[in-house]
A and B are shown apart, each in its own frame.
Chain A
């Protein structure tokens, strides 16, 4: 039994130290376990390669235990030395830090005193030590690799520790994995997992209806609706971990304080940013642009991450109120001119992305109502990236996928994420820099009491919401569908309303259960029959044509 999955993004590399694309990371999770994992049902930290962990009293030393009995797919035992080898490779080799280097920047040393124990010492207390998303590789294979940069990791089958083993990769076409019968959680319930590459998501949806593939994700609302009532297809509307936002250039500066870009100076005034946020009808956007497949935006952490998610209280809530927004702009010293406008702004979005195209029309109208005409510029993906990287925008659409641990999305909006003096090396596109926010960030990073950390994380989101460097517009649903006549069920993460693909884990693929009576399709031969028929028809037509020609020619002679 084979599970065939459609993917729409290319694979950059199968080398886990180099692979940075989301699709590659997702396949990597099937091949290599991490030190710890996130449970399928509620995303809490659970056993990975290590089953026990303990921080020291000063929180600077972490001891992990790798239990006996777990093996690599080639039968060799998995030990603490493999873990230490992987982390030390990253600490000593700059190239090995290409993909996941951010997780080890705070490490001072990693050792394995015996086969079962890993000891990690950090420079400063770090609360995210159980969220190290680093694939652990087998030392006995990788110690022979001399040049990480050019190593494609294509010695099939690739030795790994995950539920599947990579057996074939044809670039731009497909990836094949076989079930790892020795997987320590137990073997998967089917034999092979194939990822097939689609450049075009409409074709992927077509392929699902034809039964060529069994699982598709990242569908647009209209594609998702088109699969309603389709026999043999089950849809999964899941809470996603992505949000879309409207960036409001707050007066971008580099890390060293130099102004960068050409944002409208009026947006440096927080009262203006709040007025803009108040003039946007988030409910209307969710209903008409997302077609209801989203939740109204608020804090930086989507509701799927439960306790970390923040909703504004009654006092903080900005309700949609154009009249109040108008009054606020008047009071802030931006009166309407003779033509009824105050100042105009550019809105940059991505051409071809349905959300940007439609939402920009609504924003144009809604901001027009408060005297701010918008000049909408829909540009290519690269141009949009360029504009946000060098801050040449006033308003721009953006969005991020978030992780179980909120550290990444929160850290993205600290002062340190802005570009350096040369304009390079930044990762933020919002250019937020706020003393209060940064202090809260530092505190939550060393707060080991989870209840207190949750509180700090919520305060940070409240601060972000109050200062509005960006308006979180919506948390988009992840729209997926699968052939329920081939596969009866998949494990979602979280259990309630969760996703099958793009999880923080591999449960969706690992837990897939074949349907009781999966039917094989005989489409190929029907196709050949039709093609053959067409060819015969053409040949007959040509012969008839020739005969007729001869005949007429004869008569004419």
Chain B
């Protein structure tokens, strides 16, 4: 029953997102046709033709109905900016975003949780103070600024834009190495910015467990300090961190708008930015549906997974 209601709730959220997306972006000021043709010799007839091509000349309720019915068929419409189906454009950008945000989320989660455990275990030591201090500082730093700074400091060690060079050899190894080379700075920026979140959550939830009687019992049994931490303390403290990780995984798809903009990384975040300058209604709607959908699905997964991780939470 509860599973069914959870699924129903998720589906309802998706429908609401789809409806909201349509009206939300129509409120964005600006006329796409005027923005597109600005600076060119344009006649009123040419503007009318563009409006007709994009379906913008129809009444709003007709536009909405057209959008909604084609959405149900899986058709997200055509982007004004790229003059291609929105689903193609999004699909093309999904890979780069998953690569960048996925890689950095995995690194940030691993590093953050590990450092968080160590910091909590040696609370108030020099190690705790340094790691917590440094990661908090990085968290507070504007992403844009950090990215530019990294780009300047590293000189010509790493490329400053995009995912690939235009003159790399076409074989797989060279291409893969080239992508890896381009990945370093943007993922470093992202890790630096989000790592603190995991570190702090892990640290504080482990601190809560530190004085629990079962740890004393474990020590009294003669267990090594390392084992006490690994087998007893951490499993009990990791749940809040897992929640956070899953929420974050949902946001992976939304990309990292700022980081992608700084490094011109061809992912969904950059696409969002470009779509807003149109405003490219169909692309914006499509992006919202896809990214919100990812968040809804990941949240659902997180809820289901709790039951597995923690027997106290039952999802039937």
Q: Which of the candidate stretches A12-20, A55-63, A359-367, A431-439 sits at the interface with the other chain?
A: A12-20
Q: Which of A403, A527, A557 counts the most B-chain CB atoms under 10 A from its CB?
A: A527
A200 and B264 within 8 A (CB): yes
B11 within 8 A of A: no
Q: Please tell me if the beta carbons of A12 and B184 are within 8 angstroms of each other in the complex.
A: no
A389 touches B31 (CB 8 A): yes
Report B275 CB to chain A, min CB distance, Å.
10
Residue B211 at the chain A interface, CB threshold 8 Å: no
Whether, in the assembled complex, A496 has its beta carbon less than 8 Å from a beta carbon of chain B, the answer is: no
In this complex, how many residues of chain A approach chain B with their Cβ under 8 Å: the count is 74
Establish whether residues A385 and B34, one from each chain, have CB atoms under 8 Å apart when the complex forms. yes
Number of interface residues of B (CB under 8 A): 68
B273 at the interface (CB under 8 A from A): yes
**Which residues in window 93-120 of A have CB below 8 A to B?**
94-95, 97-99, 101-103, 105
Q: Is B263 an interface residue (CB 8 A)?
A: yes
Q: Out of B48, B51, B82, B184, which one reaches A527, CB within 8 Å? A: B184
B242 at interface by CB-CB < 8 Å: no
Q: Is the Cβ of A95 less than 8 Å from the Cβ of B49?
A: yes
Q: Which of B164-197 contact A (CB under 8 A)?
A: 164, 166-167, 177-178, 180-181, 184
User: Please, what's the 1-or-0 string for A420-443, where 1 marks a CB less than 8 Å from any CB in chain B?
Assistant: 100011110000000000000000
Residues of B within 8 A of A531 (CB): 180-181, 184
A385's partner among B30, B178, B180, B263 (CB-CB below 8 A) is B30
Partner of A98, one of B49, B148, B162: B49
* Contact residues, B20-67 vs A (CB, 8 A): 28-31, 34-51, 53
Q: How far is the CA of A206 from the CA of B279 in the complex (A)?
A: 29
B231 interface contact, C-beta 8 A: no
**Interface-located stretch among B135-143, B221-229, B295-303, B306-314:** B221-229
Say yes or no: is B152 at the interface (Cβ < 8 Å to chain A).
yes
A171 pairs with B92, CB closer than 8 A = yes
- Judge whether A553 and B224 touch: CB under 8 Å: yes
CB within 8 A of B264: which of A197, A210, A420?
A197
A528 x B181 contact (CB < 8 A): yes
Inter-chain contacts of B177 with A (CB < 8 A): 528
Task: Indicate if B72 sits at the interface (CB-CB under 8 A).
Answer: no
A4 contacts chain B at the CB level, 8 A cutoff: yes
Tell me how far the C-beta of A237 lies from the nearest C-beta in chain B, rounded to whole angstroms. 22
Residue of A whose beta carbon sits closest to that of B174: A524
Bound Cα distance A425, B273 (Å): 27
Residue in contact with A173 in the complex, picked from B41, B164, B226, CB distance below 8 Å: B164
Q: What chain A residues lie within 8 Å of B42 (beta carbons)?
A: 102, 427
Secondary structure of the A side of the interface? mixed
Pairwise interchain contact B271-A424, C-beta atoms closer than 8 A: no
Bound Cα distance from A400 to B81, whole angstroms: 21
Given the known A-B contacts A200-B264, A383-B30, are A149 and B181 also in contact in the complex, defined by CB atoms under 8 Å?
no
> Does A401 touch B at the CB level, under 8 Å?
yes
The chain B residue sitting closest to A21, CB to CB, is B36
- B186 nearest CB across to chain A (Å): 11
Minimal Cβ-Cβ distance residue in A for B88: A171
Contact partner, A200, options B39, B49, B184, B261, Cβ 8 Å: B261
A203 interfacial by beta-carbon distance below 8 Å: yes
| Contact status B31-A211, CB under 8 Å | no
A343 proximity list for chain B (CB < 8 A): none
B161 to A: closest C-beta gap in Å: 5
Instruction: Assess whether A524 is in contact with B181, with CB atoms less than 8 Å apart.
Output: yes
Indicate whether A200 sits within 8 Å of B262 (C-beta atoms), given known contacts A94-B49, A206-B152: yes
- Closest chain-A Cβ to B53's Cβ sits at a distance in Å of 6
Q: B289 on the interface (CB 8 Å rule)?
A: no
Whole-angstrom distance between the Cβ of A481 and the nearest chain B Cβ: 15
Contacts of A203 in B (CB 8 A): 148, 151, 160-161, 262-264
Q: How far is the CA of A308 from the CA of B83 in the complex (A)?
A: 37
Contact of B162 among A99, A197, A528 (CB under 8 A): A197
CA distance A401 to B38 in the complex (A): 10
The winner among B83, B89, B158 for most chain A CB atoms within 10 A is B83
Which residue, of A15, A103, A211, A427, has the highest number of chain B Cβ atoms within 10 A? A427
Seen from chain B, the residues whose Cβ lies within 8 Å of a Cβ on chain A are 28-31, 34-51, 53, 80-84, 89, 92-93, 148, 151-152, 155-164, 166-167, 177-178, 180-181, 184, 222, 224-226, 260-264, 266, 270-271, 273-274, 276-277, 279
16 chain-A/chain-B pairs, Cβ below 8 angstroms: A2-B167, A10-B82, A12-B80, A97-B46, A97-B49, A152-B83, A171-B82, A172-B274, A200-B264, A204-B161, A212-B160, A383-B30, A523-B156, A524-B181, A527-B181, A531-B180
